[in-house]
Amino acid sequence: MHQPAYHSSPRQMITQETIQDLSALGLIRKMASYAVQECLSFAAWKMPGQTNIMMLISDSAAWQESVSPEHEKGGFAFAPFNPSSPKLYLPATHLLKFAECKITEITSHNLLERLEEGESPVTQVHAGPSDSFDEPEIPYRDLVEKYIREIQSGRVQKVVASRCKKVGLPPGSDPVILFGKLTEAYPDAMVSLVSSPECGTWIGATPESLVE
C-alpha cells in the first residue's frame, strides 16, 4: 500500500471529534479522493429499501474467475452480465457504515489520520480506458429484430437489448454528489459507485431484486 504524500505546510487532520461534523457525502468525497491519490480502489453503495450507505477502500482489488458470497467476507464484487467473464473483487481494507447522514461504524480508525479537514474540491475518480465505447455499434432496430428471431426460434426466452450513449460531463461534475442524488431519487434501487485503476469509474441504480 502506498504511503500518503507529505506536505510542507501544516495540515489540519480529521479526528474522532471533528468527523461527526461531516456529512456522509462529505466524508465519502474525502475518502474517495484519498483512495485515488494513493492508487487504491473504492466502492460506495446503498441497498434497496435502505438508507444506510456503505463504503470501502481496497488496496488489493483483483480480477477473479469466480466470487462466492459464502467465502468472501468484507468486500465488494463488481461483475459483468456474462457469468463466464472475470469478476473484480475489492476486499475491504477500510470499511465504513453511514446511517442517518452520520458515520456509525469504521473498521480502521488510522484512516482518519490521513484525511485533511476543510472543504474538498470535486471528487477525484479513476479514469477508464479511452476506448471503452469505441466498438462499432449495431443499429438498434437491427439488434431488436435479431433478438426477436432468436426468441421465435426458441433458442432464448428473454433478452434485454441495450445500447451505449457517449456524452461529455458538464464542468465541475462530481460523481459522489450524483451518487447522493441517485440514493434520494431511487430509494428502492441498489445504488453504487465503484472506482478502480482496474476498471475505471462506474455509477448506477438498478431496480432488480436478485436475492431476497
Extract the C-alpha cell encoding 44: 460506495
Beta bridge pairs of residue 203 = 193
pLDDT at 6: 33
Beta bridge pairs of residue 96 = 55, 106
Helix (H, G, I), strand (E, B) or coil at 22: coil
Angle between helices 175-185 and 24-37 (to 10 degrees): 140
Question: Cα(78)–Cα(66) distance, rounded to whole angstroms?
Answer: 11
pTM of the shown model: 0.77
Question: Cα(166)–Cα(135) distance, rounded to whole angstroms?
Answer: 12
pLDDT at 30: 86
pLDDT at 73: 67
- pLDDT mean values, one per 10 residues, the chain (212 residues): 38 52 79 91 94 93 84 79 86 86 69 66 75 63 90 88 79 90 92 94 80 62
Question: Residue 12: which region, alpha, beta or left (left: phi > 0; alpha: psi -120 to 50)?
Answer: beta
Question: Cα(60)–Cα(165) distance, rounded to whole angstroms?
Answer: 31
